[in-house]
Amino acid sequence: MTQNYTLTILPGDGIGHEAMTEVRKVIAWLEDSRGLSFTLHEDDIGGAAYDKYGQPLADETLEKCKASDAVIMGSVGGPQWDDVDYNLRPEAGLLRLRKEMGLYANLRPALVFDALIDASTLKPEIVRGLDILIVRELTGGVYFGEPRGIEDLGNGQRRGINTQVYETYEIERVGRVAFELARKRGNKVHSCEKANVMEAGKLWREDMTALHASEYSDVQLEHMYADNCAMQLLRNPSQFDVIVTDNLFGDILSDEASMLTGSLGMLPSASLGDKGKPGLYEPVHGSAPDIAGQGKANPLATILSFAMALRYSLNLNDEADLIEQGVQDVLVSGQRTPDIMADNCTPLSTSQMGDALITILNHNMKKVA
């Protein structure tokens, strides 16, 4: 019997809808051409959910997400919700979703497509063939640590406080995600912290070392200070395979690494929790209100996020490979949305880009057959 996969689809706001329409084409293609079967539950998140339910993530939406094999999200936000209460803003829905689904590992690939090499601000010889995966701890560290706040010192001065805190179980579980992923890639993990000046960093290094020795000694582990990692990403990025780091450093290093590739419309991400639980897959970009509804959005970041869902939540590696190869081939063919336009290329709208990918997927399937 064909296995059925249940996906919750949350287009969100702005260009999320346009991009998700193109993801649906890819899902339909997988059903037609690969004999797969999907049950899709579509719902709202962000501003659209606020308008409909009075909150940016309704309880029933959350339950649907938790009961799915994977959640595919577009993007949230827009100026029309700027005046909404902080805890009801579109972004609050996304934060709640990540927290309630127990998503503690954020995966951000930085992959340089040969056809887009000129979009990087670095020299082609530095970024050619680049394929880095950053695993950022997502639910701990200084963004959540207590105590926090701003104190009035009573003498005209104030004190701002945030606390960097990690416990062993938090370090080990994100470490396991990184080591497991490295085994399926280049088998190398760089663990980044500031063990030289921070106790939480010292613990991070000791716990990673112990985890490596007890469970993952077949994987190459290197420790690196986070500031050095920031430099090395620009100097010699191809030395990296998987980078694992805490919430704060991961926030910064993943943005830096993704910009090596040069184009926001091409960047997917995944957030994972415990094995067997659904992951959340979403593009790195936001809802792009400046181009929403105009057919100018690049849907490839959302489609590549869906490919990550196939790989990491549904274990459909061959299908993920097909889609990623299809994206490479569309780019090589010179078909481009405006954000990645270059000389002598053919301009496409959002939906034309989806159609071009399907044409190439069909062509590639015929080659295989």
Nearer to ligand NAD by C-beta: 38 or 53? 53
Nearer to ligand NAD by C-beta: 221 or 288? 288
Q: What are phi and psi of 31, to 5 degrees?
A: -70, -45
Residue 254 interacting with ligand NAD (CB under 6 A):
no
The active-site residue out of 25, 66, 131, 143 is 143
Residue 264 interacting with ligand NAD (CB under 6 A):
yes
Q: Catalytic site residue 255?
A: yes
Position 96, amino acid:
R
Q: Cα separation of 340 and 265, whole Å? A: 8
Instruction: Give CA separation, 30 vs 16, 189, 305, in Å.
Output: 21, 33, 15
CA-closest candidate to residue 13, choices 84, 64, 96, 80? 80
Record the tokens describing residue 13, joined without a space: 């706001």
Residue 262 interacting with ligand NAD (CB under 6 A):
no
Could you say which of 107, 174, 297, 348 contacts ligand NAD (CB under 6 A)? 297
Q: Cα separation of 189 and 223, whole Å? A: 8
Could you say which of 265, 268, 273, 326 contacts ligand NAD (CB under 6 A)? 265
Residues forming a β-bridge with 70 = 7, 279
Nearer to ligand NAD by C-beta: 89 or 205? 89
Site for ligand NAD in 55-94 (CB under 6 A): 75-78, 91, 94
Q: Catalytic site residue 207?
A: no
Q: C-alpha angle 41/46/52, rounded to 5°?
A: 75
CB of 283 to ligand NAD, least distance (A): 6
Helix pair angle (90-100, 59-66), 10° resolution: 40
Nearer to ligand NAD by C-beta: 73 or 322? 73
Q: Catalytic site residue 25?
A: no
Instruction: Give CA separation, 101 vs 66, 95, 138, 153, 277, in Å.
Output: 7, 10, 12, 39, 8
Could you say which of 23, 117, 291, 303 contacts ligand NAD (CB under 6 A)? 291
CA-closest candidate to residue 353, choices 334, 337, 332? 337
The active-site residue out of 218, 227, 290, 321 is 227
Q: Cα separation of 89 and 36, whole Å? A: 37
Residue 258 interacting with ligand NAD (CB under 6 A):
no
Site for ligand NAD in 137-176 (CB under 6 A): none
> By CB under 6 A, how many residues form the interface with ligand NAD?
21
Residue 117 interacting with ligand NAD (CB under 6 A):
no
Site for ligand NAD in 270-289 (CB under 6 A): 282, 285-289
CB 242 within 8 A of CB 181: yes
Q: Catalytic site residue 194?
A: yes
The active-site residue out of 194, 246, 281, 339 is 194
CB of 216 to ligand NAD, least distance (A): 31
Q: Is the dihedral of CA 251, 94, 337, 131 positive or negative?
A: positive
Q: Catalytic site residue 227?
A: yes
Residue 268 interacting with ligand NAD (CB under 6 A):
no
Residue 17 interacting with ligand NAD (CB under 6 A):
no
Residues binding ligand NAD (CB under 6 A): 15, 75-78, 91, 94, 264-265, 282, 285-291, 297-298, 301, 339
Q: Which of the residues are catalytic?
A: 143, 194, 227, 251, 255
